[in-house]
Amino acid sequence: MGQTEEREQSMETANQPSIYMLILVGVLVSIVGVYARFAFDSTALSIASWVILLIGSIICCKAVFKILNAK
Protein backbone atom coordinates (compact mmCIF):
# COMPACT_ATOMS: atom_id res chain seq x y z
CA MET A 1 0.00 0.00 0.00
CA GLY A 2 2.86 2.41 0.70
CA GLN A 3 4.09 2.39 -2.87
CA THR A 4 0.61 3.05 -4.31
CA GLU A 5 0.04 6.02 -2.00
CA GLU A 6 3.48 7.38 -2.86
CA ARG A 7 2.74 7.06 -6.58
CA GLU A 8 -0.60 8.87 -6.22
CA GLN A 9 1.04 11.69 -4.28
CA SER A 10 3.75 11.95 -6.95
CA MET A 11 1.10 12.22 -9.68
CA GLU A 12 -0.77 14.91 -7.76
CA THR A 13 2.42 16.90 -7.32
CA ALA A 14 3.39 16.53 -11.00
CA ASN A 15 -0.08 17.60 -12.17
CA GLN A 16 -0.23 20.87 -10.26
CA PRO A 17 -1.44 23.70 -12.51
CA SER A 18 1.23 26.04 -11.14
CA ILE A 19 3.97 23.93 -12.73
CA TYR A 20 2.34 24.10 -16.14
CA MET A 21 1.74 27.83 -15.77
CA LEU A 22 5.48 28.17 -15.09
CA ILE A 23 6.21 26.27 -18.31
CA LEU A 24 3.81 28.55 -20.19
CA VAL A 25 5.49 31.67 -18.80
CA GLY A 26 8.90 30.28 -19.74
CA VAL A 27 7.79 29.56 -23.30
CA LEU A 28 6.26 33.02 -23.69
CA VAL A 29 9.43 34.70 -22.38
CA SER A 30 11.49 32.60 -24.80
CA ILE A 31 9.25 33.59 -27.71
CA VAL A 32 9.74 37.26 -26.82
CA GLY A 33 13.50 36.66 -26.86
CA VAL A 34 13.35 35.01 -30.28
CA TYR A 35 11.21 37.77 -31.77
CA ALA A 36 13.47 40.46 -30.31
CA ARG A 37 16.46 38.72 -31.88
CA PHE A 38 15.05 39.23 -35.37
CA ALA A 39 13.30 42.57 -34.80
CA PHE A 40 16.24 44.92 -35.40
CA ASP A 41 19.87 44.55 -36.28
CA SER A 42 21.79 46.01 -33.37
CA THR A 43 24.36 44.46 -31.09
CA ALA A 44 22.73 45.66 -27.86
CA LEU A 45 19.30 44.32 -28.79
CA SER A 46 20.84 41.06 -29.93
CA ILE A 47 22.59 40.57 -26.58
CA ALA A 48 19.44 41.50 -24.68
CA SER A 49 17.38 39.05 -26.73
CA TRP A 50 19.83 36.23 -25.99
CA VAL A 51 19.58 37.02 -22.29
CA ILE A 52 15.76 36.99 -22.47
CA LEU A 53 15.86 33.68 -24.31
CA LEU A 54 18.22 32.24 -21.69
CA ILE A 55 15.92 33.35 -18.87
CA GLY A 56 12.93 31.74 -20.58
CA SER A 57 14.85 28.50 -21.04
CA ILE A 58 15.88 28.46 -17.39
CA ILE A 59 12.26 28.99 -16.30
CA CYS A 60 11.12 26.06 -18.47
CA CYS A 61 13.88 23.78 -17.21
CA LYS A 62 13.02 24.68 -13.61
CA ALA A 63 9.40 23.62 -14.18
CA VAL A 64 10.40 20.37 -15.89
CA PHE A 65 12.74 19.49 -13.03
CA LYS A 66 9.90 20.15 -10.58
CA ILE A 67 7.86 17.56 -12.45
CA LEU A 68 10.72 15.06 -12.53
CA ASN A 69 11.47 15.48 -8.82
CA ALA A 70 7.84 14.94 -7.78
CA LYS A 71 8.27 12.03 -5.39
* Domain ranges across the chain: 24-71
Read off the pLDDT of residues 6-47 as tens digits, 9 standing for 90 and up: 778 878 888 888 999 999 999 999 999 999 888 878 888 889
Whole-prediction pTM value? 0.81
Q: Which residues are CB-contacts of 19 (< 8 A; sequence separation ≥ 6)?
A: 63, 66, 67
Distance CA 55, CA 15 (A): 23
